[in-house]
Chain A
């Protein structure tokens, strides 16, 4: 960071930091106008275009729109899908131009107050520190205040910039701000739409340029969403749109090739994976996340052989990689175990496998990888049943005879109105898991627990000592269990007020999971599950 500063300017501008000289000892809190520029070494236009591979047209357009030194510009609206290089391009362009700018992301600044204060802090070269209790330069919540403060700040900054220019005009300055224009960049503008329903904030931001009415200010918006979606909110917009389209496959290739050392190997790798993947997504971030483990897989056979890349080897690598591609296409998220515990884990797994093999099919090892109490398991199953089965069948499925002869009844019924039934089932399938009230859940729960209690007492578990209290024991904590199931997102709860009568639940568990649970309890799930 450039620590050079003229004393006159600091006394005027960063009053807060001069008031507390001790802050400077801990951390270089004196900012100068030169901190408004990007800061690193400037890059030439060739470098600029080289770094922004695939964005040549947009970069040139952007440069063109921003224009030469000290020329006013209309507000610019940069838009395009996620990860198409909008923010990078804008920032790199400013790095190249070396002009002062203020960048605020509406993600980090998640409400108007923080956004305003962030802009003002940057403009006024204010640093938060323990001496000012990390407060911002000015408290500013209303747009009207913001306009006043902003105008004030801009006037000062522009004036100082001009003074700077005239003073250092002769000197060759590498890192000093060029020109007397200040650019305000608002990133992630689409988030502002969610801030308030009336979208006053959005129209305010769009009109900011006209409200300020200063030629020395340039405003640049960066957004995921196209300008169309803002029309309804902000009415007419006096913005110059600049679209960043998705990268083409060739552009993606150039981008990925740029960052790789072993270009030959990587290009052959890209030849395999880029095509299937670019059909799914063209986002750089998603692709690079997916490619990283795949490339490691790809290189696996190479570890020992230092041979040059030829066709044969390529084919070999391809056959090695191929099975992983389709599986990784569906995989969004993969968490490897940390290496420290790895060994232990493997050992454990091996042991488990061994033991399960030895015991054979008679005794299945509990396959669930987390602990659930039996009553929670039953509750999960009953919620699943309540969500999948139509409520009208409950009586026949769970009557005292245990649902054996009820099947006939059901069959008879379905024969009568077969077609209607089928339609209804189709509808049920499309709707997904149904909702159910608490009472139905509890009733089913009571049924299946009492049934399994019976079978339990018949064939095993004398040492469990469960028969002492009967099934009332299972009931005691049901609501607590239910709430913990809700917390684990296994059951969703509709309606917010627990007193409201209309609270309905819905099971969100997959059938596989439920089957696993049922298996661990030896519960005959299929017997109670209604199917066509």
Chain B
């Protein structure tokens, strides 16, 4: 999981995470990063797919060009303010996310620790009853049932395990702080190349903190007996599926020879299903396990927690509008599905917001004002010197702060109602992100605004199967808000009171709503008591049961109508002064589409290289152009298959026009001839041309645009993946 988005962007983590699986992307990315700097920054700053340069220098560079018209002094001041604004906002978001995720996992971590302790106890009992000597080389002779390795399978519930790298690191830290010896092994350590020796070596290094020459498990035994034999040893492997099965099997079999002598407990991440263990490991390994299952929260739950803390509850004052929210939602659901990428998107949005979204320069200061204002409504908190100088702030003054306060107040109401809706929808697995998107939807607002006093209630209450085609789009069958409202009707009594309790908690700061909720709650609890009393009195009579049902019915209706009225009243559209709304920019920054970009860039290479020699000529191929670019442009003339011979010859004619000139002497004018002679004093030798050709073809192959000739057609190359 991505607690520290900071780390995500650091090259270390990237190389660690992605090195193995997206080597081609890495190549592409490197090339792109260079291009980005050369291109006009406003258009392409975000094109790099994997790494977004967030260094201050970069931002300054962007803005310097963008707002080039302003006078230098003011400009620099603005820049600094923007940076400050971004820093303060993002650090808030970041720390909020970290807190949320930490809270999210803490129960599971405690669970795991408890289980580790139990397993250790069990091993200890066996040990003492059998006088185990850890340093002996021969295995303990006992019955097979007690020769088990405790293994905790942590289901991460996400195909991509990027989010959980940090979870397992945190788990390691957590267990260490509770006094276990911990080794955090990555799945990459279990590679077929390094074999069993590789992972043993890394394990020893993690436990012993010194590197020993031999990766021998008896070293571990010696070390452990020096440590006093009092703590469990936990080995954490982050993702089992990515391990090489045979190496992992060897590793576990080796451990099994030391079982009882070394109290080793395994914690293994499983990203898909428990069955994958069965697929990966042979049965003679599996039978050594005494497994336990642990569930991490699903990504959707984590996402809800983050959305609640960051976007709904407004930890920072950074908002996104409907389009952006919808994009981020669809990106999460359809594209990447990792929190890491969601947080990355959020960060990019934040960067873009502060760097180029602000047309009015005062808005960044506005942010700072709101920041200081947002928490305790304290206008008199010391503002940065530079900001006080700023005219915008002076001009707006008190009025402005009032407007802001009002906006914050409304936003608070909005958030609380949304959270209440989420609370109601939880039983139907409606996610906060969905509700959030729908609530931001202008269609929804329009709808609420248009007939808020007429038939909203009826429509909201209408069953899903009924004629929804009449209603506006947002109330079609995917209307999450309506679903949530509806679900209130079908709740059990206990669930309902639970929800009301939560509503009360959510609306604690907002007296108006809180009153209503409390009122309803007291009514319901009275009713509940009454009906309970009744049912006790008239113990097995049908009438009492129907009475009870009636009571429940009405209570549910009341709750539903309350939430409906809340939606109607507080979920009004409110004009966001400062929210990020450029979804397209975010998209290009986040996705980048490197493959297409590479093809585009190869086709007009002048735009990027900006050399003097070939910029004038436009699209005509010149010998001074980059070989790869020439070849790729030539390849456009062919179809799927490229005849190697033809291709080579057209390449040759372009980079070595001298050959050409013998034929074209009469046709071509002198200037070209002269020019060619200027640039290519001596005609290039055949060998050089071939070498250059080969290199260019290889480069195209590496970028994944070409496939080498097959045996069946040795003289044809194949173009790969156009348009992708």
Interface residues of B in 267-283 (CB under 8 A from A): 271-274, 276-280, 283
Selecting from A87-95, A171-179, A266-274, A413-421, the interface stretch reads: A87-95
* Residues from chain A with Cβ under 8 Å of B136 in the complex: 39, 103
Interface string of B542-567 (1 = CB under 8 A from A): 00000000000000000000000000
Interface string of B685-722 (1 = CB under 8 A from A): 00000000000000001100001101000000010110
* Residues from chain B with Cβ under 8 Å of A113 in the complex: 214
B241 with A114: CB separation less than 8 A: no
Given contacts A110-B254, A439-B721, A483-B21, contact A284 B144 (CB under 8 A): yes
Which residue on B lies nearest to A185, using beta carbons? B138
| CA A341 to CA B254, docked complex, whole Å | 31
Output the least CB separation between B676 and chain A (Å).
35
| CA A337 to CA B591, docked complex, whole Å | 39
| CA A135 to CA B215, docked complex, whole Å | 10
A463 with B254: CB separation less than 8 A: no
B293 with A134: CB separation less than 8 A: no
Given contacts A40-B131, A374-B333, A462-B473, contact A110 B250 (CB under 8 A): yes
Output the least CB separation between B267 and chain A (Å).
11
Closest 9 CB pairs of A and B: A465-B326, A373-B337, A285-B144, A483-B21, A128-B222, A335-B291, A374-B334, A103-B138, A340-B111
Interface residues of B in 230-269 (CB under 8 A from A): 239, 241-242, 250, 253-254, 257-258
| CA A464 to CA B434, docked complex, whole Å | 9
Output the least CB separation between A180 and chain B (Å).
21
User: Quick check: is A372 within 8 A (CB to CB) of the other chain?
Assistant: yes
A sample of 7 cross-chain residue pairs with beta-carbon separation below 8 angstroms, ordered by A number, consists of A40-B131, A111-B197, A338-B293, A358-B490, A439-B721, A473-B335, A501-B708
Which residue on A lies nearest to B291, using beta carbons? A335
User: Quick check: is A477 within 8 A (CB to CB) of the other chain?
Assistant: yes
B323 with A338: CB separation less than 8 A: no
Most A CB contacts (10 A, CB to CB) among B108, B226, B473, B721 go to: B226
Output the least CB separation between A109 and chain B (Å).
7
Selecting from A203-211, A321-329, A363-371, the interface stretch reads: A363-371
Which residue on A lies nearest to B219, using beta carbons? A134
* Residues from chain B with Cβ under 8 Å of A340 in the complex: 110-111, 114-115
B219 with A487: CB separation less than 8 A: no
Given contacts A259-B143, A289-B144, contact A373 B334 (CB under 8 A): yes
B330 with A476: CB separation less than 8 A: no
Given contacts A288-B145, A439-B720, contact A129 B333 (CB under 8 A): no
B158 with A338: CB separation less than 8 A: no
Task: Find A463's partner among B131, B250, B326, B591 (CB 8 Å cutoff).
Answer: B326
Interface string of B410-442 (1 = CB under 8 A from A): 000000000000000001110000100110010
Task: Find B278's partner among A332, A373, A438 (CB 8 Å cutoff).
Answer: A332
B257 with A108: CB separation less than 8 A: yes
B145 with A292: CB separation less than 8 A: yes
What is the interface residue range for chain A against chain B? 35 or more
Residues of A within 8 A of B (CB): 1, 26-27, 39-40, 82-83, 87-88, 91-92, 102-105, 107-111, 113-114, 117-118, 121-122, 127-130, 133-136, 185, 259, 284-286, 288-289, 292, 332-338, 340-341, 345, 351-352, 354-355, 358-359, 362, 365, 369-376, 438-439, 442, 460-466, 468-469, 472-480, 483-490, 498-502
* Residues from chain A with Cβ under 8 Å of B135 in the complex: 127
User: Quick check: is B476 within 8 A (CB to CB) of the other chain?
Assistant: yes
* Residues from chain B with Cβ under 8 Å of A87 in the complex: 138-139, 141
| CA A230 to CA B151, docked complex, whole Å | 36
User: Quick check: is B160 within 8 A (CB to CB) of the other chain?
Assistant: yes
B241 with A487: CB separation less than 8 A: yes
Interface string of B128-164 (1 = CB under 8 A from A): 0001010111110101110100001101111111000
Which residue on A lies nearest to B147, using beta carbons? A285
* Residues from chain A with Cβ under 8 Å of B155 in the complex: 369-370
User: Quick check: is B286 within 8 A (CB to CB) of the other chain?
Assistant: yes
| CA A284 to CA B142, docked complex, whole Å | 12
B145 with A460: CB separation less than 8 A: no
User: Quick check: is B45 within 8 A (CB to CB) of the other chain?
Assistant: no
Selecting from B7-15, B54-62, B294-302, the interface stretch reads: B294-302
Output the least CB separation between B136 and chain A (Å).
7
* Residues from chain B with Cβ under 8 Å of A479 in the complex: 22, 24-25
* Residues from chain A with Cβ under 8 Å of B277 in the complex: 333, 335
Which residue on B lies nearest to A372, using beta carbons? B159
* Residues from chain A with Cβ under 8 Å of B273 in the complex: 369-370
A332 with B286: CB separation less than 8 A: yes
Output the least CB separation between B289 and chain A (Å).
7
Given contacts A336-B293, A371-B300, contact A130 B223 (CB under 8 A): yes
Which residue on B lies nearest to A338, using beta carbons? B292
| CA A262 to CA B687, docked complex, whole Å | 88
Output the least CB separation between A151 and chain B (Å).
20
A105 with B139: CB separation less than 8 A: yes
Output the least CB separation between B342 and chain A (Å).
11
Which residue on B lies nearest to A256, using beta carbons? B143
| CA A103 to CA B261, docked complex, whole Å | 15
B225 with A338: CB separation less than 8 A: no
Task: Find A118's partner among B216, B291, B293 (CB 8 Å cutoff).
Answer: B216
Output the least CB separation between B475 and chain A (Å).
10
B197 with A110: CB separation less than 8 A: yes
A465 with B477: CB separation less than 8 A: no
User: Quick check: is B525 within 8 A (CB to CB) of the other chain?
Assistant: no
User: Quick check: is B484 within 8 A (CB to CB) of the other chain?
Assistant: no
Which residue on B lies nearest to A117, using beta carbons? B214
Given contacts A369-B155, A499-B701, contact A469 B441 (CB under 8 A): no
A135 with B591: CB separation less than 8 A: no
Given contacts A104-B137, A110-B250, contact A128 B21 (CB under 8 A): no
Task: Find B294's partner among A128, A341, A464 (CB 8 Å cutoff).
Answer: A341
Given contacts A88-B141, A289-B145, A474-B335, contact A337 B292 (CB under 8 A): yes
User: Quick check: is B577 within 8 A (CB to CB) of the other chain?
Assistant: no
Which residue on A lies nearest to B721, using beta carbons? A442
| CA A88 to CA B510, docked complex, whole Å | 73
* Residues from chain A with Cβ under 8 Å of B196 in the complex: 110
| CA A345 to CA B114, docked complex, whole Å | 17
| CA A284 to CA B250, docked complex, whole Å | 21
| CA A505 to CA B147, docked complex, whole Å | 39
A288 with B335: CB separation less than 8 A: no
| CA A421 to CA B274, docked complex, whole Å | 38
B141 with A463: CB separation less than 8 A: no
User: Quick check: is B208 within 8 A (CB to CB) of the other chain?
Assistant: yes
* Residues from chain A with Cβ under 8 Å of B300 in the complex: 371
Which residue on A lies nearest to B473, using beta carbons? A462
* Residues from chain B with Cβ under 8 Å of A476 in the complex: 335, 591-593
| CA A490 to CA B108, docked complex, whole Å | 28
Which residue on A lies nearest to B294, using beta carbons? A338
| CA A105 to CA B131, docked complex, whole Å | 21
Given contacts A259-B143, A341-B108, A466-B334, contact A370 B157 (CB under 8 A): yes
User: Quick check: is B612 within 8 A (CB to CB) of the other chain?
Assistant: no
| CA A438 to CA B704, docked complex, whole Å | 11
